[in-house]
Amino acid sequence: MPAKIIDGKKIASSFLENIKKRVKEIKESPGLAIVLVGNNPASEIYVNFKEKTCKEVGFYCERYNLDEGIKQSELLNLIDKLNQNKKIHGIIVQLPLPKHINEHLVIDSILPHKDADGFTPLSLGNLVNDNNMLLPATARACIELIKSTGQNIEGKNAVVVGRSKIVGKPTALLLLQENATVTLCHSKTKNLEEHTKNADILVVACGKPRFIKKGMVGKNAIVIDVGINRVMGKVVGDVDFESVKEIASYITPVPGGVGPMTIAMLLDNTLKAAEIAAKM
Ligand code: GUN
C-alpha cells in the first residue's frame, strides 16, 4: 500500500487557527520583525510567506529589506533598536547572510526572549539542557508532523540526514527528548543506506534534490522531507517522493509538507514570546 501523505498545509492551518484565537486573548498584537539582507531569491520567497502568514493571523509585522552590501555595524544597530522596541516580540534574520557579515555575531545580538527562530546560543543551550524555551521552528515542525501520524516516537530508530545547526542538529535533539534512538548522518557518513534503511523515522535535510531513493528506505518508515530544491523549474525535496512513497508508511510532500508547518511554528514561537512579555 502506498504511504499516507502527511498534509503539512492542513496541519499548519489548524495550528494557525489556534494561534488566531490566542492572539485575540492577549492585549497587544504579537509583533515580528523580519530582516532580509540582499536578494537571494529563495530567501525572498520564504520571507514573503512569513510576512503574509503573520498578517493573516493578526500579528504586527515589520519587514526590513537591506542592501547586500550593508555594513555589519548597521545591521547590529538595527537589531539593537528592534531589541528595545516594545511592539516587537520576535526578531528573525533570514539566513544565509552575505559573506562579509559574521552570522554568529548577528544572531547572538538578538535578545534571547525575542529569538523567534531559536538560533541564539542561549536558545540552543536550553535545547541541549531539555529546558525548552524558543525552539528552532523547522525542528519543531518535523516533530509535530511525526506526531500527527499518531505513531509513537519513543523507542523508535530515528535517523536524521544532515547536520546543519538550524535543522539537523536541533531535530536530532528533539527526537532524543522524545526518547527515540537517534542517529545523525552527514556527508562523511559511511554506508549511509545501512543507517537510513534501519530507520523507523527518517528526517532528511541534506539539501540534495531527490537524494533518498526507494532502496535506501525501510518498509513502513515515516519519512519527513525538509528539502526545498528547484530542479528545472520544479520544487522538489531531498527525497525521491514518487518511489519512496511506495515503501514508506507516511511521507511529507514537497511543497506542502515541512514548509508551511515551519512558518506555523515560527509564529507560535513569536506568540509565546508575546505571551511571556505580557506577563512581565
Ligand atoms: N534560512 C533557511 N531556513 C531558515 C529559518 O528557519 N530561519 C531563518 N532565519 N533563516 C533560514
- Residue 198 lies inside a defined structural domain of this protein: yes
DSSP state of 237: -
Same domain, yes or no: 168 and 96: no
Kindly give, in sequence order, each residue whose CB lies less than 8 Å from that of residue 6, ignoring residues fewer than 6 positions away. Answer: 145, 148, 149, 224, 250, 251, 252, 253, 257
CB 156 within 8 A of CB 197: no
Same domain, yes or no: 188 and 108: no
Owner of C-alpha cell 526590513: 64
* 2 Cα–ligand 1 center, Å: 32
Q: Per the structure block, which three cell numbers stand in for 256? A: 506542502
User: Is the CB–ligand 1 distance for residue 238 below 6 Å?
Assistant: no
Q: What's the CATH code of the domain at 35?
A: 3.40.50.10860
* 220 Cα–ligand 1 center, Å: 30
Q: How far is CA 19 from the centre of its chain?
A: 17
Catalytic residues: 50, 94, 117
Q: What's the CATH code of the domain at 254?
A: 3.40.50.720
DSSP state of 178: T
User: Is the CB–ligand 1 distance for residue 92 below 6 Å?
Assistant: yes
Count of domains forming the chain: 2
Q: Per the structure block, which three cell numbers stand in for 119? A: 538560533
DSSP state of 197: H
Same domain, yes or no: 146 and 102: no
- pLDDT for 129 equals 97
- pLDDT for 221 equals 98
Model-level pTM?
0.97
- pLDDT for 122 equals 97
Residue nearest to atom 11 of ligand 1 (CA): 95
Same domain, yes or no: 90 and 200: no
Please give the Cα distance from 248 to 176 (Å, whole number).
22
Domain that holds residue 48: 27-112
Same domain, yes or no: 185 and 99: no
Same domain, yes or no: 61 and 142: no
* Per-10-residue mean pLDDT, the chain, length 280: 96 98 93 97 95 97 98 98 98 98 98 97 97 96 98 98 97 98 98 98 98 97 97 96 98 98 98 91
> Beta partners for 5?
251
- Residue 122 lies inside a defined structural domain of this protein: no
* 43 Cα–ligand 1 center, Å: 8
User: Is the CB–ligand 1 distance for residue 45 below 6 Å?
Assistant: no
